[in-house]
Amino acid sequence: MSRVYIGMGTCGLASGAEQVKEAVSKWVYEKQAGIPITPTGCIGYCQAEPIIDVVTDSGHRISFGGVKPESVGGLLEQVFGDKSYASKGVLGQYRNGQAPLKNIAFIDEHPFFKKQRKFILRNCGVIEPTSIADYRATGGFKGLERALTMTPQQVVDEVLKSGLRGRGGGGFPTGKKWSLAQKEVSEKKYIICNADEGDPGAFMDRSLLESDPFAVLEGMIIAGYAIGAREGIIYCRAEYPLAIERLLECIEILKNEKILESKLNNDGFTLKMRIKKGAGAFVCGEETALMASIEGKRGMPKPRPPYPAVSGLFEKPTVINNVETLANVSAILREGAEAFASMGTAGSKGTKVFALTGKIENTGLVEVPMGITLREIIEEIGGGIQNGKKYKAVQIGGPSGGCIPAQHLDIQIDYETLKGVGAMMGSGGLVVMDEDTCMVDLARYFLSFITKESCGKCIPCREGTQRMYEILDSVVSPYSKMKNEEENLARFNMVMNLENLAQVIKDTSLCGLGQTSPNPVLSTLRFFRDEYEAHIYDRKCPARQCKGLLTYRIDTAKCTGCTACARKCPVSAIVGETKKAHYILDEKCTRCGTCADVCRFEAVQVS
């Protein structure tokens, strides 16, 4: 019965899960305990990685967070030896139908998990990702079995009835997409899984593929059956090597299990599946660019219509669904459309996975029902802002989304409400920012990202975003040495045009990337206009982030002349004699902040 599970997703591995696993195997070997060790995926509570779950002789599963290789021995000793279950690092116990262990709370009552509703992440961090037996034991392939008893039309209707909308960003109803492709008559159709999760700040697709790959593959097979596709392609980022490795392994298993490349029903429905590695281009998340990339071309979007459902990959009808959408499909077919539609709001059904990151206490992946408020996610699940700082905004939807300030924290999360406040669901990255984040700098950061990732096909996006970037760059840059009037005038001129330019880009770009690229600027302008004004009129950065607008100065009264700063300064911009007050040469200073870090007397002042 005993078993040890170790969370070995990317975040677990990055936090040292490999060393923990070695320590566990060493302990098991030394004690000759014969306890099997099972690698599992990510449970979502990345903050507490490395996480190990220990299943006791009595079948109770207890989860421990923040495990270190050196503490493994003591921990296992306690669980299997004197059964005292160390309280340190215990996240909770799983429910298993037996009388619970005393003094240990249930894991689903842990503040991080309490408000969550695990619908598609239910297996993540719980089962062994590449074990088909584990997947079957949790109801895996029940959805596919049910789908095969229905006609393709009925499957499409079921998905339509559930109200599932695409989880990749656009929010287009999945059932509608399918029925368009299903109606097309063609000797070949494709189902593509979009796993090109380029959105900086989102990693739910990676986690799903690493932790529960079968759920995504099952969803793809169901989608293939519904639209009549014979070939499935997973377009996965090359930056996710672990996800690709696990997918390849699972595809092999499914071939051996006669699920892939075998006749699944009497009509002879079969599906082939392959993986296409992306090569690092954000724009390839866009459907038509993604297909161009699969065809071996540069990933540039095409005008629509024709929609991919009519003429897609190699000009054949193609359905492209996001990873999370497909995981939802297998769950909908398994649990039924009603169960899915019972969660969420009128227009947005089901659950949504968010990647909670930034300056928040608990970072990780959270799955919540649609309609939950942002405040619940940030304050209750996320545990509030780090180091007791003040909340400023949350950035949702990546480079296409917007920032939501404190006054809108109580909005419900669904597709329409988010659009109403100038943001969008996107793929669900939630980056929390505190008072130390400069919103102008953030907008500039997103624009620099877009200018790099713009494919260059249409002018508004290629040139427009570059100009917008230059405007914001001029806002955060110091005066040139001349400080002349003309330069000021030019800056004002540019700033006046910023909103206008943003609108033009929005209206005239070809694809979603371009059309949404001004959003970070527009939304920060809407809610944080005062910060822009402070940068432009007062030439000050209230959050002290924009280096160009900062000056470093040494308070002569506080400086003891310890020379620590002068020795550490990478550009030798600090002068002064030993035991006498030092001085910073402003022309040489690069505003790296090293002196402020090393000063023990708080003599370095930033303004």
- The span from the CA of 325 to the CA of 169, in Å, is 11
294 phi, psi to nearest 5 deg: -65, -35
Select 370 or 443, whichever has its Cβ closest to another protein: 443
Pair 432, 276: CB distance under 8 Å: no
Minimum gap (Å) between residue 591 Cβ and another protein: 9
Select 175 or 398, whichever has its Cβ closest to another protein: 398
- The span from the CA of 462 to the CA of 456, in Å, is 5
Select 295 or 487, whichever has its Cβ closest to another protein: 295
Q: How many CA atoms lie within 13 A of 556 on its CB side?
A: 7
Minimum gap (Å) between residue 561 Cβ and another protein: 24
- 66 sits near another protein (criterion: CB under 8 A): no
Minimum gap (Å) between residue 70 Cβ and another protein: 19
Select 204 or 220, whichever has its Cβ closest to another protein: 204
- Which 8-state DSSP code applies to residue 344? B
Q: Token pair for residue 152?
A: 């393709």
Minimum gap (Å) between residue 402 Cβ and another protein: 13
DSSP 46-86: GGG-S-EEEE-TTS-EEEE-S--HHHHHHHHIIIIII----
Q: Which of 95, 114, 298, 529 binds another protein (CB under 8 A)?
A: 298
* CA 514 to each of CA 221, 287, 298: distance values in angstroms, whole numbers, following the listed order: 33, 14, 17
**Which span (159-167, 260-268, 296-304, 320-328) binds another protein, by CB under 8 A?**
296-304
- Site residues for another protein, window 144-203 (CB under 8 A)? 197-203
> Crossing angle of helices 465-476/439-453, nearest 10°?
150
- Which 8-state DSSP code applies to residue 391? E
Can you give 179-243 as a three-state secondary structure string? HHHHHCCCCCCEEEEEECCCCCCCCHHHHHHHHCHHHHHHHHHHHHHHHCCCEEEEEECCCCHHH
48 phi, psi to nearest 5 deg: -95, 5
- The span from the CA of 411 to the CA of 413, in Å, is 6
Q: Which of 188, 277, 539, 540 binds another protein (CB under 8 A)?
A: 277
- 431 sits near another protein (criterion: CB under 8 A): yes
Q: Which of 7, 24, 28, 47 binds another protein (CB under 8 A)?
A: 47
Select 196 or 414, whichever has its Cβ closest to another protein: 196
Minimum gap (Å) between residue 11 Cβ and another protein: 5
Select 9 or 152, whichever has its Cβ closest to another protein: 9
430: helix, strand or coil: strand
Contacts (Cβ under 8 Å, ≥6 apart) of 150:
158
- 517 sits near another protein (criterion: CB under 8 A): no
Per-residue binding letters, 434-473, with another protein (x by CB under 8 A)? ---x----x--xx--x---x-x------------------
Minimum gap (Å) between residue 437 Cβ and another protein: 6
Q: Which of 7, 140, 143, 299 binds another protein (CB under 8 A)?
A: 299
| Amino acid type, 406 | A
* CA 536 to each of CA 336, 404, 478, 547: distance values in angstroms, whole numbers, following the listed order: 56, 22, 11, 14
Q: Going edge to edge, which strands form the sheet with 52-55?
A: 37-40, 3-7, 52-55, 61-64, 90-93
Per-residue binding letters, 554-583, with another protein (x by CB under 8 A)? ----------------x-------------
- 240 sits near another protein (criterion: CB under 8 A): yes
Q: Which of 6, 28, 43, 46 binds another protein (CB under 8 A)?
A: 46
Q: Which of 33, 105, 137, 238 binds another protein (CB under 8 A)?
A: 238
- Site residues for another protein, window 411-430 (CB under 8 A)? 429
Per-residue binding letters, 12-41, with another protein (x by CB under 8 A)? -xxx--------------------------
273 phi, psi to nearest 5 deg: -135, 135
The residue to which tokens 């209750």 are assigned:
380
Select 174 or 318, whichever has its Cβ closest to another protein: 318
Select 79 or 543, whichever has its Cβ closest to another protein: 543
Q: Which of 19, 138, 594, 605 binds another protein (CB under 8 A)?
A: 594
Minimum gap (Å) between residue 299 Cβ and another protein: 7
Pair 116, 368: CB distance under 8 Å: yes
Select 158 or 453, whichever has its Cβ closest to another protein: 453
- The span from the CA of 40 to the CA of 242, in Å, is 12
Q: By rule CB under 8 A, what count of residues binds another protein?
A: 60
- Site residues for another protein, window 313-372 (CB under 8 A)? 355, 357-359, 363-365
**Which span (25-33, 157-165, 231-239, 465-473) binds another protein, by CB under 8 A?**
231-239
- 549 sits near another protein (criterion: CB under 8 A): no
Minimum gap (Å) between residue 546 Cβ and another protein: 11
- The span from the CA of 239 to the CA of 242, in Å, is 9
Select 237 or 408, whichever has its Cβ closest to another protein: 237
- Number of Cβ within 10 Å of residue 172's Cβ equals 13
Minimum gap (Å) between residue 23 Cβ and another protein: 19
Go through 67-81 and write b for each residue having 16 or more CB atoms within 10 A of its CB, e for each that does not. Answer: bebebbeebbebbbe
Q: Which of 81, 280, 306, 420 binds another protein (CB under 8 A)?
A: 280
- 489 sits near another protein (criterion: CB under 8 A): no
- The span from the CA of 186 to the CA of 22, in Å, is 53
Contacts (Cβ under 8 Å, ≥6 apart) of 74:
86
Q: Token pair for residue 60?
A: 């109770």
Per-residue binding letters, 102-141, with another protein (x by CB under 8 A)? ----------------------------------------
Q: Which residues bind another protein (CB under 8 A)?
A: 10-11, 13-15, 46-47, 49, 197-203, 206, 237-241, 276-282, 293-299, 355, 357-359, 363-365, 395, 398, 429, 431, 433, 437, 442, 445-446, 449, 453, 455, 570, 590, 592-594, 597
